Amino acid sequence: MSRPEALFPLFAGLETLEGVGPKSARAFEGLGVTRPKDLLFLLPHSGMDRSRRDSVRDVVPPTTLTVEVEVGAHFPPRTKGKPYRVLVRDSQLEWALVFFHARGDYLQKLLPTGQRRLVSGKIELFDGIAQMVHPDHVLRPEEAAELPSFEPVYPLVAGLTQRVVAKAVAGALHRAPTLAEWIDPALKAREGWPDWRAAVMAVHSPADAGALALTNPARQRLAYDELFAHQVTLSLARASLRKSKGVQTVGTGALQARVLQSLPYAPTGAQRRAVAEIAADLASPLRMNRLLQGDVGAGKTLVAFMALLVAVEAGGQGVMMAPTEILARQHFHGLAPLAEAAGVRLVLLTGRDKGGERAAKLADLASGAIHILVGTHAVFQKDVAFHDLRLAVVDEQHRFGVAQRMELGAKGRAVDVLVMTATPIPRSLALASYGDMDVSVLDEKPSGRKPIKTAMIAANRMDEVVAHLIRAVAEGRQCYWVCPLVEDSEVLDYASAEARFAHLRAALGDVVGLVHGQLPPAEKDAAMARFERGETRVLVATTVIEVGVNVPNASIMVIERAEIFGLAQLHQLRGRVGRGAADSTCLLLYQAPLSEAGERRLKTIRDTEDGFRIAEEDLAMRGAGDLIGTAQSGLPRFRVADLERQAALMAVAQSDARALLAVDPGLTGVRGLAARGLLWLLDQDRAIRLIGVG
């Protein structure tokens, strides 16, 4: 599919714009600007009030002043390094323009004595006398109309000035064509949004500071365009994944029934609902691409295992992939009793498997003797061949973006994909990162899960905490003691954990264990195993225990310097307790005085256990990029849209995109063709390829 001709001038080289040479073109790359069209989306972040004044007397320095003056005498510097001064007179007062390292002949031309000029720049008092150092603008009276009374201020990088950027933007705006409308007309009318070209013009010529706000209709429209293009791309990806013929996998229910009989509790309504949604996807001829979102302890493992059993019941195989070896091991140990109850063969494959042992596993996998494989991404290596792989369960989405999901499909096997995440993601972000997926949410706690009592305690009450611990250990309880990450240095971390370990050991004796990032894997496993068996009662740890550790008897969680942890991390850590019969407590030890943000975080954790509420709060406090670590999250980078504050627009964009593609899957209708123009404009080449193929 070829680019619409109306857009050609916007895709030309930057140097075709007036005032942009090879040097500034290179500098523009630092702003992510490589073609004229990128300048349209380089929005001003603030503005300068350049409205005309009669005299310096009308303003209070230091401030921006725009005033017409008569140029007086020039005073070149007498000694090197001193400034060049030009006296000027406005309607009431005489004052000076000051230039450093300036050429006299240039200034004589710019400011001829006896003539009138409009000057605009920052006015300051120096020894009680008003002066303007290096005015931003010096114009002849007849050019005065060129200077807007409110001038947009653009982001800059080294090698660019406001003037160069403004001139380049003006050149790009000149090339902006009138495009056919891709937004649903009813939506556009309801929101009062301008046409695309009018919106672009408006955001670059704000009348006042209000025009720079996110809520400004022109800005909102351009933000919506971005979200809409992104959702069209995700919807096309979803459609193309679904088009690739899936295998119909229909379970008998026999193996699932055995597992349910072996459980000491009944699954929650949410778990049953999720299993049914997944089973329906597996049974359909379309490929499944589903996200299973569940809070800490909501029972995702059981749901995933039931899904894997559907594949086995239908005569196929399943695989569960975890991002790290330690997590793969935990999944393996967690699933082993379920596999035993079902009577299926479950095997772990990691990078540690070598030689004959590995070869034997691979042979069994290829023959179908292994029903379910658990592993790291090592299960994707060339020599790993399945007999009949039906379902891949991927744990912890963040390291597995849209691109990898499509790759998994490109392996030639029409594998159904279920992605699990334990990080509750606010809806707007879920739509941004996983808009191509269908979502199942586990929003109930399994029965028998008791609420966790959470308290905030100042660090100077450490002795009371240790005394409390001595009593708890005497009663047979177990405790995690999490030490803070120090200064991002593993060496110091290790030192702080060692020191706390020594302190607790002195108080409690040899029932205290230690695990941290510097330990060799085998020692780490051994320390964890001793804690699981109850030989150690208190486990001092750095944050290595954050994800997936399961010791039901552990009922106390102490988090030291809790104020320096993020909300999601605190929530994950707290989720390690409250898994057994005992009442559980989480103590947040903080160092006073708390910052406002620190206090807000700790109070949020203290007052709610709802991971989705915590995630919304986290998003409000930290921003989308931080929340998921933008670099590796596959979260799109938007130029205009703000995911935190325009979350509602994302949901509208998704339903609009899906509605458009439902009636016009090939984007060949009037609105569809307009939407193609938008995809070109916003570099959604993947979408364009997908339509091309379609």
CATH number at residue 316: 3.40.50.300
What is the count of structural domains for the chain?
5
Residues 417 and 431 in one domain: yes
How far, in whole angstroms, is CA 262 from its chain's centroid? 40
**Residues 334, 422: contact at Cβ < 8 Å?**
no
Residues 430 and 562 in one domain: no
**E-assigned strands of 266-316?**
289-294
Residue with tokens 């998704």: 654
Residues 382 and 527 in one domain: no
pLDDT at 234: 82
CA gap 537, 48 in Å, rounded: 63
Query: Which tokens sit at 27?
Result: 């500098």
Identity (one letter) of the amino acid at 168?
A: A
pLDDT at 622: 56
Enumerate the β-bridge partners of residue 69: 117
Q: Is 74 inside a domain boundary?
A: yes
Task: Give pLDDT tens digits for 440-452.
Answer: 888 777 666 678 8
**DSSP assigned state of 319:** E
Break the chain down into helix, strand, coil percent, rounded to 5. 45, 20, 35
Residues 502 and 650 in one domain: no
Question: In sequence order, which residues have a C-beta less than 8 Å from that of residue 308 and are 6 or more positions away?
Answer: 318, 320, 372, 391, 393
Q: Is 152 inside a domain boundary?
A: no
Closest to 391 measured CA to CA, from 532, 292, 270, 249: 249
Pairing assessment for the beta strands 452-458 and 512-515 based on DSSP bridges? unpaired
CA gap 147, 139 in Å, rounded: 9
Separation in Å, CA 266 to CA 259, 262, 272, 296, 523? 11, 10, 10, 18, 37
Q: How many CA atoms lie within 13 A of 144 on its CB side?
A: 16
Q: Is 596 inside a domain boundary?
A: yes
> 300-313 vs 269-283: helix axis angle to the nearest 10?
30
CA gap 564, 559 in Å, rounded: 10
**Residues 103, 97: contact at Cβ < 8 Å?**
no
* Secondary structure of residue 534 in the 3-state scheme: coil
Residue with tokens 């102490």: 558
Pairing assessment for the beta strands 512-515 and 478-482 based on DSSP bridges? unpaired
User: Count of CB atoms within 10 A of residue 267's CB?
Assistant: 20
CATH number of the domain encompassing residue 26: 1.10.150
Residues 396 and 294 in one domain: yes
Q: Is 636 inside a domain boundary?
A: no
Query: Which tokens sit at 648?
Result: 């509602």
Q: Say how many Å lie between the first and final Cα of the chain, rounded.
A: 11
Query: Residue 133: what are its φ and ψ, rounded to 5°?
Result: -90, 125
Query: Which tokens sit at 311?
Result: 């594949």
pLDDT at 439: 80
Enumerate the β-bridge partners of residue 554: 478
Q: Is 277 inside a domain boundary?
A: yes
Identity (one letter) of the amino acid at 251?
A: G
CA gap 292, 300 in Å, rounded: 7
Q: Is 213 inside a domain boundary?
A: no
Full domain range(s) for residue 265: 254-442
Residues 419 and 488 in one domain: no
Query: Which tokens sit at 94?
Result: 């005489």
CA gap 588, 167 in Å, rounded: 55
Identity (one letter) of the amino acid at 650?
A: M
Question: In sequence order, which residues have a C-beta less than 8 Å from that of residue 103 and are 6 or more positions away?
Answer: none
Residues 351 and 494 in one domain: no
The C-alpha R_g of the chain, in whole angstroms, comes to 32
Query: Which tokens sit at 134?
Result: 């290096």
Residues 414 and 460 in one domain: no
**Residues 36, 190: contact at Cβ < 8 Å?**
no
Residues 56 and 22 in one domain: no
CA gap 99, 533 in Å, rounded: 77
Residues 590 and 651 in one domain: no
pLDDT at 137: 92
Closest to 187 measured CA to CA, from 657, 683, 664, 682: 657
Query: Which tokens sit at 619?
Result: 């998003």
CA gap 113, 133 in Å, rounded: 18
DSSP string, 83-131: PEEEEEE-SS-EEEEEESS--HHHHHHHS-TT-EEEEEEEEEEETTEEE
Query: Which tokens sit at 237?
Result: 């990806």
Residue with tokens 């793969």: 328
**Sign (positive or negative) of CA dihedral 588, 591, 592, 597:** negative
pTM, entire model: 0.62
Residue with tokens 């028998």: 448
Scanning 545-610, the segments in alpha helix (DSSP H) are 567-574, 596-607
pLDDT at 209: 85
CA gap 134, 317 in Å, rounded: 73
pLDDT at 411: 47
Q: What is the dihedral of CA 488, 490, 496, 499, to 10 degrees?
A: 180
Q: Is 633 inside a domain boundary?
A: no
**Residues 26, 159: contact at Cβ < 8 Å?**
yes
**DSSP assigned state of 629:** T
Tell me the residue length of the chain. 694
Enumerate the β-bridge partners of residue 98: 85, 133
Q: Which residues of the chain have pLDDT under 70?
A: 1, 241-246, 296-297, 378, 396-414, 423-436, 446-449, 485-495, 543-549, 619-637, 644, 686, 692-694
Closest to 295 measured CA to CA, from 444, 184, 139: 444
Query: Which tokens sit at 121?
Result: 């720049």
Residues 301 and 319 in one domain: yes
User: Count of CB atoms within 10 A of residue 223's CB?
Assistant: 24
Residue 621, judged by CB atoms within 10 A of its CB (0-12, 13-18, 19+), counts as: middle
Query: Residue 656: what are its φ and ψ, rounded to 5°?
Result: -65, -45
Q: Is 630 inside a domain boundary?
A: no
Residue with tokens 């569809």: 672
Domain-terminating residue out of 608, 623, 657: 608
**Angle of CA points 571, 447, 323, to nearest 5°:** 45
Closest to 258 measured CA to CA, from 297, 332, 313: 313
CATH number of the domain encompassing residue 143: 2.40.50.140
Residues 109 and 61 in one domain: yes
CA gap 173, 165 in Å, rounded: 12
Task: Give pLDDT tens digits for 277-326.
Answer: 999 999 988 888 888 888 766 788 899 999 999 999 999 999 998 877 77
**Residues 583, 553: contact at Cβ < 8 Å?**
no
Domain-terminating residue out of 608, 624, 657: 608
**E-assigned strands of 470-531?**
478-482, 512-515
